Copies of this chain bind each other. A is one copy, B any other.
């Protein structure tokens, strides 16, 4: 049984709370947030606090607050030599207070408050300079039915960067598609099976192999027709740049 204190109640914190409280081999002993408002509703399920001086002893302290607040919060912890892990994809752990054993427990997924996540499908990137701490974090991931991967800081930052392309930027392309269909009174819904299939395809084959469409075929007529159809300059710039990118990838000049 691994005892855990969770710090933070944003998107990641709230999802971690849900999965920690359910996990058989995890004992969530306390949930800290700087304001009790966000966690008040959970007081019957877990000990809650907004006072760092009241933090209880645990095997690991998981910090799930914004990147900008991790350094400060970790330095304010009123104890020494305990295992403290942040959950950020991009922050180096040297930014955390040195009084404790610093580590990373980064769940690679997009979290929204009102959407449940199948945590068993979330890879956890773990990092520590200490072998036994690494083991504990791997066991914690295992207790959540997650795969864990030992990743160094540079690799984690690269993963975080790639995740911005594969998640934030992809989602923005969905948004552009939404704007384009909306403008002509077409329901965005009609694109949803295509969106899902596009993501399912690369679970099995590489994006290189999966590519189709006018840019890959170098179908100049269709590309020209599309550019004529686009009414928004900003959408046009994205169309041009990504068409060039596909051509480059597939060796078309």
A212 on interface, CB distance cutoff 8 Å: yes
Q: Considering the chains assembled together, what is the distance between the CA atoms of A219 and B245 in angstroms?
A: 26
Interface class of chain A by DSSP: helix
The reply to whether B158 and A181 contact each other, CB–CB distance below 8 Å, is yes
Docked complex: A185-237 residues within 8 A CB-CB of B: 185-186, 188, 190-216, 219, 221-222, 225-226, 229-230, 234-235, 237
Cross-chain contact B112 with A190 (CB below 8 angstroms): no
Tell me, in angstroms, the Cα distance from A173 to B89 when the chains sit together: 19
User: Is B175's CB under 8 angstroms from A162's CB?
Assistant: no
Number of copies of this kind of chain in the complex: 2
Question: Is residue A69 within 8 Å, beta carbon to beta carbon, of the partner chain?
Answer: no
Contact of A207 among B175, B207, B245 (CB under 8 A): B175
B residues in contact with A181, CB < 8 Å: 158-159, 162
The verdict on A168 contacting B238 (CB below 8 Å), with A163-B191, A177-B163 known, is no
* Docked complex: A228-253 residues within 8 A CB-CB of B: 229-230, 234-235, 237-239, 241-242, 245-246, 248-249
Chain B residues near A199: list those with CB within 8 A: 195-196, 198-200
Evaluate contact between B159 and A191: CB separation under 8 angstroms. Answer: yes
Contacts of A177 in B (CB 8 A): 162-163, 165-166, 207
Q: Does A81 contact B (CB under 8 A)?
A: no
CB-contacts of A83-122 with B (<8 A): 90, 108-112, 114-115, 117, 121-122
A167 touches B67 (CB 8 A): no
What residues of B have a CB within 8 angstroms of the CB of A77 in the complex?
A: none
- Specify the chain B residue showing the minimal Cβ separation from A176: B165
Closest 3 A-B residue pairs measured CB to CB? A199-B199, A168-B213, A174-B207
- Can you list 12 A-B pairs, Cβ within 8 angstroms, ordered by A? A108-B190, A109-B193, A110-B201, A121-B196, A166-B191, A167-B198, A168-B214, A168-B216, A170-B198, A172-B242, A175-B211, A177-B207
